[in-house]
Amino acid sequence: MKILVIGSGGREHTLCWKLKAGKGVEKIFCAPGNAGIAKDAECVSIPVDDLDALAKFAEKSCIDLTVVGPEVPLCAGIADLFRERGLAVFGPDKSGAELEGSKAFSKEFMKKYGIATAKSATFTSKNDAYAYIRANIVGKPGIVVKADGLAAGKGVIVAANEEEALRGVDQCFSGDFGKAGESVLIEELLIGEEASILALTDGITILPLASSQDHKRIGEGDTGLNTGGMGAYSPAPVVTEALFAEIKENVLDRFLDGVKAEKMDFRGIIYAGIMVTKDGPKVLEFNVRFGDPETQAVLMRLESDLADVMLKTATKSLSEVELQWSSEPAVCVVMAAGGYPGAYNKGDIIEGLDEAAATGAVVFHAGTAMKDGKIVTCGGRVLGITAKGANIAEAAASAYNAVGKISWSGANYRKDIAYRAL
Ligand code: AMP
Ligand code: GLY
């Protein structure tokens, strides 16, 4: 089987690494990939949003399965285009991708199919948004302002008071998040612990993956600015067996009912960001792709043949799949460029990659590139160092041991990944 993976982050490196171990896998291409992916796949320099070039490449190279990593091509309709051309693809169609592409659409979907979520209202006028905030923040610990559209992990302002919330609205309407902020959601602040539940679906069957939790804030103790994710671990102890069953029934099964009723062609991953509140689990957001860095921790524990699982998902045979998991937890620590999630440097030489790999941890690359024969930084999140262990503490110790071998000027990482589980 020849596989094309689309994307260039740590998630895509993990996908290539895991797919490569598949029994029938002959060759993996990755568009556009990165310096680490180049060790596991042949990188092809086509951008993720050049759908036509990607489809032509898949046709010309006789690709048997295309796996779409990021949300942008999914929201642009890559799965529709590939299927029209008779190409097997892992990813939802454009109508399904709208669950991530528009938070307002996603909210309506949740309401319609009885999926618990934060109360919210959507606005296209600044004054109406202001008035709603003023009326709804009284006596509350805060309120959340969200740009409706795709904002690359930005676009969510968790405001502690009225002033911060109004400023968030200003940011949206002044174009800080581009077109994504032309419509704005104001949402009830949910209190609790977060977990990520990812599930495979082919539109007929839904199959949850192992639970995980990521660390979105830049600073230790979950402080500071939101990032794409500074580390993750799997499983998340907050997701007990009983809670997992509740999420399956009240979130995932209802999601699948909605997919069927709305006639979405959903063959891929649904990612439910969950807040475990005192009133039970509530959905913070849906994503229509693997999480990054959740994927690194989750797939390190998967013992099944991912290529076979993804092909069966793409060809509507997911009912034949039973997933096997390692009982050992896994921890992924993200190393980022200094300054991230603000402005950061690029082009710094990364030292110690071989020494880190020799410890047995796996070094997944995100923002890396090859320059004059050396691997250099070229993004905010640079590496995701991932390890398994007999328990979370040992997995974290192994990951941090490998992290300690790696250095570049300004490298930054959180020292407390998985602390909530320890
Ligand atoms: P989202 O992209 O919608 O998942 O939001 C990013 C992050 O903002 C989430 O992972 C939460 O930490 C936080 N967040 C979003 N919505 C809420 C909410 N209603 N209450 C509390 N925190 C939230
Ligand atoms: N780690 C959060 C996300 O992938 O959206």
Question: What pLDDT, in 10s, does the model give residues 177-230?
Answer: 878 777 899 999 999 999 999 999 999 999 999 999 999 999 999 898 888 899
Backbone angles phi, psi at 160, to 5 degrees: -85, -15
SS3 85: coil
pLDDT digits (tens, 9 = 90+) for 262-314: 999 999 999 999 999 999 999 999 999 999 999 999 999 999 999 999 999 99
- Report the C-alpha gap between 178 and 107 in whole angstroms: 21
* Cα-based torsion angle of the residue sequence 250, 72, 50, 341 in order, rounded to the nearest 10 degrees: -140
Residue written as token pair 């993804």: 310
DSSP, res 248? I
User: What architecture (CATH level 2) is domain 2-93?
Assistant: 3-Layer(aba) Sandwich (3.40)
Contacts of 167 (CB under 8 A, 6+ apart): 157, 159
Could you tell which of 187, 284, 286 is best to mutate to test the pocket of ligand 1, judged by most ligand atoms within 8 Å of the CB? 284
Residue 153 has pLDDT above 80, yes or no: no
- Pocket around ligand 1: residues whose beta carbon is below 6 Å from it? 118, 144, 156, 158, 187-190, 194, 216, 273, 284-285
Say yes or no: CB of residue 181 within 6 Å of ligand 2.
Answer: no
Percentage of residues in the chain with pLDDT exceeding 90? 86
DSSP, res 230? S
Output the pTM of the full model. Answer: 0.95
Four-way CATH pick for 191-320: 3.30.365.10, 3.50.50.60, 3.30.470.20, 3.40.630.10: 3.30.470.20
Residue 351: burial class (beta carbons within 10 Å; 0-12, 13-18, 19+): middle
Q: Which of 237, 236, 234, 253 is nearest to 245 (CA)?
A: 253
Token couple for 18: 């895991």
Say yes or no: CB of residue 285 within 6 Å of ligand 2.
Answer: no
What atom of ligand 2 comes closest to residue 293's alpha carbon? 1
Class of domain 125-182: alpha beta
The bound ligand whose nearest atom lies closest to the alpha carbon of 160 is 1
What CATH superfamily classification does 330-403 receive? Phosphoribosylglycinamide synthetase, C-terminal domain (3.90.600.10)
Please check whether residue 253 is in contact with residue 261, taking contact to mean a CB–CB distance below 8 angstroms.
no
Domain ranges of the chain: 2-93, 125-182, 191-320, 330-403
Contacts of 127 (CB under 8 A, 6+ apart): none
Please check whether residue 252 is in contact with residue 197, taking contact to mean a CB–CB distance below 8 angstroms.
yes
Angle among Cα 212, 217, 221 to the nearest 5 degrees reads 85
pLDDT digits (tens, 9 = 90+) for 228-260: 899 999 999 999 999 999 999 999 999 999 999
Could you tell which of 146, 209, 271 is best to mutate to test the pocket of ligand 2, judged by most ligand atoms within 8 Å of the CB? 271
Could you tell which of 140, 271, 275 is best to mutate to test the pocket of ligand 1, judged by most ligand atoms within 8 Å of the CB? 275
The CA 29 to ligand 2 mean position distance, Å, reads 24
